[in-house]
Amino acid sequence: MAVPIQTVAAADGMEDIGQRIGKGDPVVGKTLSASERCQECHGEDGNSTDNRIPKHAGQYANYLIKQLRDFQSGARQHEVMTVMAEDLTDANIADIAAYFASQPTMQGLPMRDFPIATKLFFEGDKGRAIAPCSSCHGDTGKGNRTGEVAYPVIGGQNKNYLRAQLVSWKLSERTNGPDGVMNKTAKLLSDDEIEALANYISGL
Ligand code: HEC
Ligand code: HEC
């Protein structure tokens, strides 16, 4: 008997969700992210309404886990997050990451046209050796899970947070990415380009 198409689609969907949430328990993570106060800033469902605070809804669990470990080790520095991450066990981290990753993926409000940003996003700039953002973060900025590295979801992320991260990669205040890839990229961007990219990507 032929396998009904819907079953195949559902199975593919499950596999995608499994990869996204990792090995943690999202049910435990929901309770923990409330008791550990994560939801106060990042939103109950991971959609922070404070423009400076990142959304986590639908973010890849292994990206969230890496960031929390980086806050713990000091590889990524932030006054508040260093304290928030300090006492979490590996199991806590995996469960909380699984909960936020299991939420519907963050969405922005479509923005007006940003021609400079659109070009950089999809084509990069060969003259300056800027690779297209879409080559790693995906055509809709919803990240890309291939192998060990999870390229984070950036489409629909809060605008002020996006701008701040690009500036901090540019100034090498944030250096925790693999092979300094984001530092190399952001150093080549002007402030106007960063502003346009943050606007454009937040609307994806
Ligand atoms: C008082 C507000 C506050 C609380 C509470 C808080 N966070 Fe954060 N979190 C932030 C801010 C602000 C940032 C952005 C840091 C930066 O600018 O580098 C952040 C960043 C993060 C990031 C990095 C996200 C990314 O896209 O790179 C993760 C992961 C994270 N928080 C997880 C947590 C978890 C888990 C908890 C609970 C244990 C928590 N946060 C509690 C404010 C908060
Ligand atoms: C070669 C792959 C690659 C390219 C090209 C690339 N990125 Fe990234 N980007 C990454 C990786 C990997 C990370 C996660 C780094 C880490 O582990 O902290 C990242 C992180 C980010 C973050 C931080 C997300 C967060 O939640 O904190 C932003 C913002 C970002 N990239 C924007 C861009 C923009 C804009 C472009 C194009 C101008 C771009 N990236 C091009 C690989 C890439």
The owner of tokens 């519907």 is 104
For the chain, which residues make up each domain, given as ranges? 5-101, 115-202
User: What is the CATH superfamily name and number for domain 5-101?
Assistant: Cytochrome c-like domain (1.10.760.10)
Q: Is 40 in the pocket of ligand 1 (CB under 6 A)?
A: yes
Kindly tell me the number of DSSP H helices and DSSP E strands found in the chain: 11, 2
Residue burial 56-75, b: 16+ Cβ < 10 Å; e: rest = bbbbbbbbbbbbbbbbbeee
The pLDDT value recorded for residue 28 is 98
The pLDDT value recorded for residue 113 is 84
Q: Which amino acid is at 38?
A: C
Q: Same topology for domains 5-101 and 115-202, yes or no?
A: yes
Nearest atom in ligand 2 to the alpha carbon of residue 186 is 38
- Cβ < 6 A, ligand 2 pocket: 54, 66, 120, 131, 133, 135-137, 149, 151-152, 154, 162, 165-166, 176-178, 181-182, 185, 197
d(CA 154, CA 137): 7
Q: Is the separation of the CB atoms in 48 and 41 below 8 Å?
A: yes
How much is the average pLDDT of 175-181? Answer: 93
Tens digits of residue pLDDT in 55-107: 999 999 999 999 999 999 999 999 999 999 999 999 999 999 999 999 999 99
The pLDDT value recorded for residue 110 is 79
Contacts (Cβ under 8 Å, ≥6 apart) of 122: 132, 133, 134, 139
The pLDDT value recorded for residue 146 is 73
Q: Which amino acid is at 175?
A: T
Distance of CA 200 to the CA centre of its chain: 15
Tens digits of residue pLDDT in 9-59: 344 455 577 789 999 999 999 999 999 999 999 999 999 999 999 999 999
178, two tokens: 């693999």
Nearest to 133 by CA among 66, 185, 65, 63: 185
The pLDDT value recorded for residue 104 is 96
3 state DSSP class of 2: coil
Q: How confident is the model at residue 141 (pLDDT cuts 50, 70, 90)?
A: very high
Taking the domain 115-202, which CATH number applies? 1.10.760.10
pLDDT exceeds cutoff 80 at 2: no
Tens digits of residue pLDDT in 142-156: 998 877 788 999 999
Bridge partners, residue 145, by sequence:
150
How much is the average pLDDT of 115-128? Answer: 96
What predicted TM-score, i.e. pTM, was given to this entire model? 0.94
d(CA 38, CA 156): 20
Q: Is the separation of the CB atoms in 105 and 199 below 8 Å?
A: no
